Every structure is written in structure tokens, then in C-alpha cells.
Structure 1
Amino acid sequence: MTPSDDTDLSDVRVAVSRPSSSSGTDPYLRDGPRIQTPDPIVVVPVTDELLDTHTGLNVRRFLQTAVAIAADNDGRVLLLGIETVPNEAALETVRRSVNTEQPIDDETTTAVKTVRERQTQLAEVANVARGLSPGVRISAAVRIVLDVTEGIMDVLGEEDETAVLLLRGTGLDEGWLLQRSTIERILADAECDVFVENLGVRGGENALYVPDVAEHTVASLAESDVGTIDSILVPVGAGPHAALATEAARAIARYTDASVTVLHVISPDASVEVRAESEDLLEFADYVLGSRVRTETVLREASNTTDTIVQEAKKHDFVAIGAPEKKSRLEQLVFQSARETISDLSEATILMAHDSDQTMRSLYYRWKRGIEAIDNENEPNN
């Protein structure tokens, strides 16, 4: 791939992971600059599967989600290129090249040549991300690791205000034998907000390259199309991750000018108390979305909550949902490819949110709403 004229590879930093404890002291060790910023940051792991021409995923849609979340939080996006090497010897080869500032196109080393290729690809992706929202700062780095999950976790541990956006179908959802996948391990162990996105076919296909059949050439990512997002569904419950999912819906709605439907499902024989709590839950979600978002709240009676959510999701382009608290059929919306699960729902993009603070986010919003109510009561009447 030949980089475009406006591609600057110096913007894409290279960092090599630390050697294992068994390798002893390494005089050549340099991790690269720590990625530090006082602003919230959305980390987007970019694997080689995501850059594969045969993946069939639309990178622009994926970038759009990251940029929207960053913009809504006055933060920035870090595109984290993850490149694995098979052993410590290969890691050392790349480390020496980085530390001695030798050209990273050393023809004698496959690993070093691959790093150069990843820099080029990541620079192209970063250019596209900058075009999506010029007001959001985009940075990029290639990290050379022995283990994908540990490489991502190391970066997440370097930041205070961090969220990570993981994409299904790019190798992060695969585990060997009985081992957990990268997505499962990060959801369980990361001390930050986690978003998992399952792209639907409505968002468009093709990843980094878009074939131009007529000209028998390969067009750049910048020329690819992304389906519009006109409507967003937010199924809410009493779980601790609902507020973060609602925040994500707010970010996407503000970015795309989409309308949002907030849905809560109760049993037909629900008590008066449950109905009152459900109304409060919908009112709370409406508050989180804010006045800038066109919102409709829906309280629906049904004996099967999941079926009701699935049927409603078919009417929307995008679904933001909190992480299920226990094993349920709702997990299929995220933990299986949309093409493998409910066929009628394969067009919608599903974004699952996992809140690292659990109930703290909900408590903050309720406290903030209470303070605003008190302030309004204390205002003198005209």
C-alpha cells in the first residue's frame, strides 16, 4: 500500500512491550512515550484483521462511534495498532530498531517490515478519523506485543479517564480452547468503561480498501460510504450499565442527528409500584440524553422482554444497550455476530456498554438532577 500524499508516518508512534520477567534486564528497553493526557480518551484497538481487505467490516462506521463518544466527552481518540510477534527474539529485534532509531523498513527482518506496514495503514485510518470530526484530536500508535490482550490492558492501565471500544469480528472475540477471548478478559479485568460494537450490514461493507471494479483498482478508505443512522434504540433496565449505554446513545445521536427511542419492558401483571419505578427509569434516561436529543420514551407490557427488544430493534439503525448482568439471550446481540444470530436483526449495529463504576454513574445523574430541582425551586418567581 502506498501512503497518500497527506500521510505522515511520524505521527504514528511505535512502542514495544516490556519483556517477560524471565528475560532479565534489557539495556535496550524503551517502551516509547507514555500516552498521557488530561482529557478523556477512547482507545480503539486496530488489529490486522480489521485492516484485512477480506474482513468485510466498515471501518468508517467503527471510527464514527469512537469519534462521537470522544466528542461528547470533550476527549480524544487513540488508534492503537496491535501487532503480535511470536517470541522474545522477534520482540528484541523490533525493540533494537526502535531504540536505535534505525529505519523501520529493514529488508532483513520480517517483523520490522510488518511494523512499517502497520504504521502506513494506521496513518491512513487516522486521516479518515480526523475527517469525520475535525474538532476531535486523533492520535495513533503501533504497539508490538507477545499477547494482544495484555498489550491492550497495558495501555488502558496508563490512563486515568479511559474508555475502550472493541469491535466484534476482528479477532478480539476469539479464544483458544477454553481460554477467554480478549473481549471477555477486558470486560472482566479492565478498570475502565468498555464498549463492544457489533457492526450490522446496514452500516456498509469493506474495511480498509474498497475495490473499484470498473477501474480494476483499489480505492482508499476515504472513498467508502457509510449508511446513515437515523434512529437509535436504547433498551433500559435497572442494571448498573444502563446509564453508560444511554450516554453512548446520546453521543451517537448528537453526532448523527438521529432520534432516540428509550424502551423499558414490564410484565402485563406488574404492580403499581413496579410501573411507577419504570416510569422513573424512563424519565432518568430522558434526563441523561438531554434536551439536544430528540427522544421518545416507551413503556411496553410483554411476557418476553428479549423478544420485545429484538422486535423493536428491527425498526432502528443502531442499538445501545447496557451489559447483561447474567447469562441471557440478550448476550447474543453482542457476543455473537449479527450474521450468526437473529437474521432479521442483522442490519442494525449493536453497541454494548460496560460501566466500570457500576452504579456510581447513575448516582451522579440522580444527584445532579436533584440539585437542579432544588435550584429551580429556589429561583424567585417573576
Structure 2
Amino acid sequence: MATASEDRPVLVAIANPEHAEQLARTAGDLARATDGVVQIVSVVVKSHESPFSVYTDDAILEQYSGDAQETLDRATKVAPEDVTVTGELVVGNSVSDGLLTAIERTDARALVVGWQERRGRTDAVLGTTVDRLLKRASCDLYVERIGSEANGVDSVLLPVAGGPHVRPAATIAKAIAARNDATVTVTAVIGADVDTDVAQESTVDAQLALEETPGPSVDVQIRLHDSDDVVGTLVDEVADHDVLVFGATRQGALHRRLVGSIPRTVIKRTDRTVILARADDAVGGPVLRQLQRLRNLP
């Protein structure tokens, strides 16, 4: 009999086979923690304006899914070998429509997608696709920067300032650390808008989330910084780590900077892997605005 985890797969959206290994690895980390499965999804777009809109989905998949099927096949070949991996082609009026359909049909536990800085045309899942997923995806959502992969992971940085998105951020931080026998460093900044008690409470909550999330135990370190320069402090901190994981936050100076300055500054100044986490019960809000700023980087 299938377990609950097996019944709720971790979906990973692949639009470009060159990004498949990176994104499938992250999805594999999430699935491995609960003995779950990874389901790779490639979307065949049937726009309303297309003459193919009169065809049934089955007919479109049978006759016009060549590129998407090739992407799916290549992605499956480079997926982690120690987790169960399946693949599915989905027809949708847009990429986001297809992914939302897949989420609802499979009751997915999480979805992993990729994004890139806007430096010309890209085939990564980003922009309006990510915006719509952030608003409507009914599962945990993980958005990973394409192209910046850690060559071995010794330390994962998890900045915190409270809020519901700490849970999924802790989940992926622990999953990555477990595969690499790495340390998760939980950090908070004490400053003008965040007193010592609030910062300590945030780190305690994150540590509890790390303990409660499934998977083997990992080494956890707590690091508190006392500085009014929250952005500069965290940018300096990131240099000592291989992966940065964060989600939307709830209050204080760190909240405002995670929504705005921190992602923009970190992306420009680090080659570290960056993953953003959004909880399954969130609808739009700060993380949506955060991604909108990210995709408008020069």
C-alpha cells in the first residue's frame, strides 16, 4: 500500500532540459526525506488563440508533444537514482495553468520551479508563470535560481524573522543538508526594529521547525548578529555558506529587506545557490512582490 508521502508527490517543472538536473536534485532532496516520489512535469501549451485549441488534450499529446516529450525524457534520465521518479506531460492554456492542473490532480506536496535573472530570453519557468503559481499553487512552492549550483554543500544559511514560510524554508534547508552531511546555520539580526527577544524567538522557532520536519537529523547552528545594517550583515554572512534558503517573513526590518533589498543585493553579489520558499496556505502577499522585483533585475 502506498504511503501518504507517495500519494503526494513532489512535482518539478522542467521547461528546459539544461536545467533538469539542478531542479530534479532539489525535488529529490524533498522526496527523499519522506520516502516520497518525484514527478517531473513538462507542459504542452494550448493557447486560446492557437488552432490546436479545438483539439482534445489527448490528441495534442499524441500529435504535438514532441519537444515537451523530449524534455521530459531527458529530465528523467538525469534525475536522482535513489528516489522514485515519474514523468508526465500536461496540457494547459499556459505553463502555469498546466502546473496548477498537475498540482490539483496529484494533490502534490510541493512544487519546485526555476527562475533566472532577466538577461534576454530564457526558457526557465519565471515571470508571469511564477507570479501566478505564488498566488494560486495549493502546495509548498520552492523557486530556485537557475545556473548557480553549489559544488558540494558544507553549509546552508537560513535567515529568519518569523512568519509561516519558515516551515517550508526549514524543510528544504534540512533536506539539502541531510544529503550533503552539511550544517544548517539559522541566523537573525538584532537591530533598530528587531530586539533581542524577537530575534531569539525567531531562531528558536526555526530550530523547532528543523527538528519537526521529516528526515535524518542535521547539525544546526544559531548565529545572532547585532547590527542596524541588516542587509550588509546578511550579505557578509552569505559568503560563508554554499546555499541560501529563505521565505517571506512577517515583521521588522528583516521582513522589509527580504521582500526587497536582500534578494536583489545577494543575487548581484553572490554565486551561491538561492532558493525561495512559500508555504502551501499562502496566497500572494510579500513573496509575490519579492519575485516581481527579482525578475525585473537589470
Q: TM-score, normalised by structure 2?
A: 0.77
**Structure 2 partner of 1:348:** 272
Question: Which residue of structure 1 aligns with residue 285 of structure 2?
Answer: none
5+ residue gaps, structure 1, are 1-35, 52-56, 105-111, 175-180, 204-226, 359-382
Residue 59 (1) aligns with residue 20 (2): yes
- Counterpart residue type for residue 258 of structure 2: L
2:72 alignment partner in structure 1: 122
Alignment check: 8 A CA contact 1:91 1:145 kept: no
Give 1:119's aligned amino acid: Q
Alignment check: 8 A CA contact 2:5 2:37 kept: no
Quick one: distance in 2 between partners of 1:247 and 1:43?
15
Which residue of the partner structure matches residue 247 of structure 1?
171
Structure 1 SS opposite 2:125: coil
Shift, 1:63, TM fit = 1.4
* Change in 2 beyond 3 A, CA 1:195/1:334: farther
**SS in structure 1 opposite 2:217?**
coil
Q: What does residue range 180-329 of structure 1 map to in structure 2 within 5 Å?
A: 181-199=128-146, 201-203=148-150, 227-267=151-191, 273-274=197-198, 277-278=201-202, 280-281=204-205, 283-285=207-209, 287-288=211-212, 292-325=217-250, 328-329=256-257
Where do 5+ consecutive residues of structure 2 fail to align? 117-122, 283-298
Q: Which residue of 2 aligns with 1:31?
A: none
Instruction: Find the structure with the greater CA-based Rg.
Output: 1
Change (3 A) 1:164 1:281: same
Alpha carbons of structure 1 residues 295 and 277: separation in structure 2 relative to 1, 3 Å: closer
* Stretch moving more, 278-287 or 244-253: 278-287
| Aligned partner of 1:45 among 2, 13, 17 | 13
Shift of 1:95: 4.0
Q: Distance in 2 between matches of 1:37 and 1:262?
A: 27
Aligned-partner Cα distance in 1 for 2:160–2:152: 24
Give me the whole-angstrom Cα distance separating, in 2, the residues matched to 1:278 and 1:323.
Answer: 13
In 2, distance between residues paired with 1:269 and 1:185?
A: 32
Counterpart amino acid of 1:159? T
- Out of 31, 35, 52, the position equivalent to 1:90 is 52
State the 1:162 CA deviation: 2.3
Q: CA deviation at 1:276?
A: 5.3
Equivalent position of 1:145 in the other structure = 92
Higher helix content, 1 or 2:
2
Q: CA 1:270/1:78 → structure 2, altered by over 3 Å: closer, same or farther? A: closer
1:76-87 alignment, distance < 5 Å: 76-86=37-47, 87=49
**Cα distance in 2 for residues equivalent to 1:283 and 1:276:** 11
Q: CA shift at 1:332, angstroms?
A: 5.5
Structure 1 residues 302 and 352: CA distance shift in structure 2, 3 A: same
Output the aligned Cα RMSD: 3.1
Q: 1:133 aligns with which of 63, 81, 86?
A: 81
The change in CA–CA distance for 1:93 and 1:42 in structure 2 (over 3 A counts) is: same
Deviation of 1:194 (Å): 0.9
Calculate percent identity across the aligned residue pairs: 25
| Equivalent in the alignment of 2:291 | none
Q: Which amino acid aligns with 2:175?
A: A
70-79 or 284-293: which moved more?
284-293
Using the alignment, how far apart are the partners of 1:270 and 1:314 within structure 2? 23
Q: What amino acid maps onto 1:298 in structure 2? A: R
Q: 2:33 aligns with which of 72, 77, 89?
A: 72
Q: Hey, what does 1:155 align to over in structure 2?
A: 102
Is the Cα–Cα contact under 8 Å of residues 203 and 222 in structure 2 kept in the other structure?
no
State the alpha-carbon separation in 1 of the partners of residues 52 and 231 from structure 2: 48
The Cα shift of 1:41 comes to 1.1
Aligned-pair CA distance for 1:293: 0.8
Report the AA paired with residue 158 of structure 1.
Answer: R
Contact 2:114–2:143 (Cα < 8 Å) also in 1: yes
Instruction: Note if contact 1:278-1:299 (Cα within 8 Å) is conserved in structure 2.
Output: no
Superimposed CA distance per residue, residues 136-175 of structure 1 (whole angstroms, 9 cap, x where no aligned partner): 211111122222221111111223352111110344322x
CA–CA distance in 1 between the matches of 2:60 and 2:194?
63
Under a length normalisation based on structure 1, what TM-score does the superposition of the two structures give? 0.62
